[in-house]
Amino acid sequence: MLSATSCKVISLRDFELKSAEVVRFDMSGAEVEMTIRNKSLFKITLVDGLLAAYDGDTHIGEVFVQEPVVLPGRKTTTVRLKLGLRFSSPMAALRALNTLTKEPDKVTISGYGEGKVLWFSKKIVRENVPISKFINIFGAPANYLSGKTL
């Protein structure tokens, strides 16, 4: 099967994140409202994605895409991304709370997103991204860890 990588149908440069807001966050997952500009000619469907958090070499847990979202071609659109959350253990959840609120720079994120265009698919992988990149977009983790749903 041909991939979007080999055909150069889409690239990461085709997308511009205009805004992002966490509208719900609890121990079961989150909902993030994002306004994204798709500069390509094609409708893109985000079909899968996973971000894993690490405190040094210790796996904390994962956030994963629960439902596909569609980005129409040559358009700016707002989508609500539904994310699931799973921790590697109850102790990892406690460790994550402590690390994210006191030393967020120790946490890194690795993962992927997979999109489809027509019958082509493309997976974009990123490794060891500092949590500070996510904090710049979504705000400090302490904002979401207060024990209440936003």
pLDDT mean over 19-42:
90
Both structure tokens of 32:
């993030």
Domains: count for the chain: 1
Residue 104: CATH number of its domain: 2.60.40
Write the pLDDT tens digit of every residue in 53-68: 998 888 988 999 999 9
Could you tell me which residue, 40 or 135, shows the higher pLDDT? 40
150 domain residue, yes or no: no
**pLDDT surpassing 80 at residue 150:** no
117 domain residue, yes or no: yes
Please state the pTM of the whole predicted model: 0.79
Domain that residue 61 falls in: 4-143
Give the percent of the chain with pLDDT over 90. 47
**pLDDT surpassing 70 at residue 33:** yes
Position 15, amino acid: F
Q: Rg of the Cα trace of the chain?
A: 16
Task: Give me the chain's average pLDDT, please.
Answer: 84
125 domain residue, yes or no: yes
148 domain residue, yes or no: no
CA gap 119, 10 in Å, rounded: 12
pLDDT of residue 142: 62
**pLDDT surpassing 80 at residue 16:** yes
pLDDT of residue 1: 39
149 domain residue, yes or no: no
Residues in the chain: 150
67 domain residue, yes or no: yes
